Amino acid sequence: ALTDFGSLTTCLANQERVLRLIFKDEEVLIKEAKASGQTDINKAFTAFSIYSDDRRREDLDGSEILRNLSLITEVVGGQPNWARLTQGYIDAYLNPFHGTKIYEAVSGEIARRAGAVFRDLKGNDIKMGDYLEKLRTEENFRLKFIAAGNEELYKKIRALI
């Protein structure tokens, strides 16, 4: 399950699909979750995980990404972004420089079930089962990734890194 308290939605997934539970007044609306179909990189709303860590800021300040993506938000913490990507509220979510703790990226599996692309910087699909050993044995392992609502947008963003 993924929850976005900002939009009062929760995503629930099984092996086949992802449902959105939308809490509105005293009702709960249930709809299928679907990742974004936006393919125009100039219109894509992209979220980066950025903290107060100066290294991350320096990485982004000189990057091609900032010069080429027009709608960018910097966020603290990944969970709301996974929920928003899963529901199509944002078009891409990246952490390509410093990486994230592997347990924070488990939500990428849910986004994938809603149609998103979730890959490492080399273009390999990220399957959380492949990282279980790293999670158990490498305390400081950090996963660098690109997640996008569709294949075409993913390729355009990856070309900038």
Rounded to 5°, the CA angle 155-160-161 comes to: 100
Tens digit of each residue's pLDDT, the chain (161 residues):
666 666 667 776 766 677 777 788 888 878 888 899 999 988 888 887 665 555 555 555 556 666 666 666 655 567 778 888 888 889 999 888 778 877 777 788 888 889 999 999 899 998 877 777 777 788 888 888 899 999 999 999 998 87
Radius of gyration of the chain (CA): 15
Q: Are the C-beta atoms of residues 105 and 87 closer than 8 Å to each other?
A: no
- Enclosing H/E stretch for 74: strand 71-75
Parallel/antiparallel/unpaired status of strands 92-101 and 45-49:
parallel
Burial class (CB within 10 angstroms; exposed 0-12, middle 13-18, buried 19+) of 69? buried
The pTM for the full model equals 0.79
